[in-house]
Amino acid sequence: MARVDYNNLDLTAPVEARGLRTQFGTNVVHDNLHIRLNAGEILGVVGGSGSGKSVLLNTLLGLKEPDGGVIRVFGKERHSMSDEERRALDTRVGVLFQGGALFSSLSLRENVMVPMREHTDLPLKLMQELADMKINMVGLPMSAASLHPSDLSGGMKKRAGLARALALDPQMLFLDEPTAGLDPIGAHAFDELILELRDALNLTVFLVTHDLDTLFATSDRIAVLVDKHIAIADSPDNVVKYEHPWVREYFGGPRSRAASHGKSN
């Protein structure tokens, strides 16, 4: 496993972007965008459809090169890192993609084992046991471990994707719409799971979501992506009160009121 030298890392800021600019052709998606995650927090990111939430996620993950600005991962600038450093830091980051993005030719257990095989030299049996443990941790029955993704329901796929994201015990978790397409019971259970895992594993979570229930139930801070930048990133109470037409409409709607009401009870 590529070693991470923790000494010259700033563990208090797992991810930080300053003056970020992203564009596709002439279409500017982000302009002068600042965002910072603090260690151990759950940051919920909201924004209208097409406001570039997923683009932001991909840029922070390094899947897309930014057109301007700097991204620091644990205090180090991403573009000045060597390939080896980048690989090592990537093992500290887990991602749950929207559809789960499980490898369909592998069983669930093998899916969770993929990152371990790549980055560790553990014996096969221990790897299998650890994979089974992760599967158990995300609340799936052990019998699911040998199933293939096509045999799983949508909710189970999300959980399985989370198990794979947790395979290397990352410090950071990126979640892209984790509760989209889940029924309210499943979504609520997923919220609980995220909170529980955050406490047990001391995770920092970047959560992109449209689900207001999830947002209010889990987020420590909410960042609002509007007008090509993060307009405000603050505690849920302060964000709701923020004076901006879009923000007011977003949080002032009947759905939002019900969700934040549920939270305060």
Partner 1 sequence: MSSRATRENEAYTLEVDKGRLIVKAFGRWNLDTVKDIDSALTADLEKLGYGPGEADSEASFEQVVFDFEGLEGIDTAGAYVLTRALGCHDGYCRMWSLVNSKKGQRSLMSVAAEASQEMEAAPKVPWFAPIERLGHGTMRGLSEAYDTIVFFGQFSVVLVKMILQPHRIRWKSVVALIEEVGLDAMPIVVILSFFIGAVIAFMGSDLLEVLGFQVFVVDLVGVSVLREFAVLITAILLAGRSNSAFTAQIGSMKMRQEIDAMTVIGLDTNETLVAPRALACLVSAPILTFAAMMAGILGGLLVCWTQDISPVLFTARLTEVVDVKHFWVGMVKAPVYGLVVAIIGCRQGLAVGGSVESLGSRTTTSVVQAIFTVIFLDALFAMMFLEMGV
* Residue of 33, 57, 95, 166 interacting with partner 1 (CB under 8 A): 166
With binding defined as CB under 8 A, does residue 150 bind partner 1?
yes
Phi-psi region of 25 (alpha: psi -120 to 50; beta: other; left: phi over 0): left
Look up residue 67 and give its two tokens.
């057109």
Looking at residues 173 to 232 of the shown chain, list those that interact with partner 1 (rule: CB under 8 A). 196, 199-202
Q: Write the CA distances from 114 to 75, 86, 107, 120, integer angstroms.
A: 28, 18, 11, 10
- Please, which residue, 202 or 238, has the CB nearer to partner 1? 202
Rounded to whole angstroms, the Cα distance separating 140 from 163 reads 9
Residue type, position 215, single letter: L
Could you say which of 77, 84, 118, 169 contacts partner 1 (CB under 8 A)?
169
**Cβ proximity to partner 1, 1 vs 28, nearer residue:** 1
Number of residues that bind partner 1 (CB under 8 A): 30
CB nearer partner 1, residue 126 or residue 258 = 126
- Distance (Å, rounded) from C-alpha 240 to C-alpha 256? 9
Residues 6+ apart with CB under 8 A from 79: 65, 70, 71
Query: Measured from the CB atom, is 28 or 124 closer to partner 1?
Result: 124
Q: Which is nearer to partner 1, 10 or 129 (CB)?
A: 129
Q: Which residues bind partner 1 (CB under 8 A)?
A: 1, 3, 104-105, 116, 120-123, 126, 128-130, 132-134, 136-137, 142, 148-150, 166, 168-169, 196, 199-202
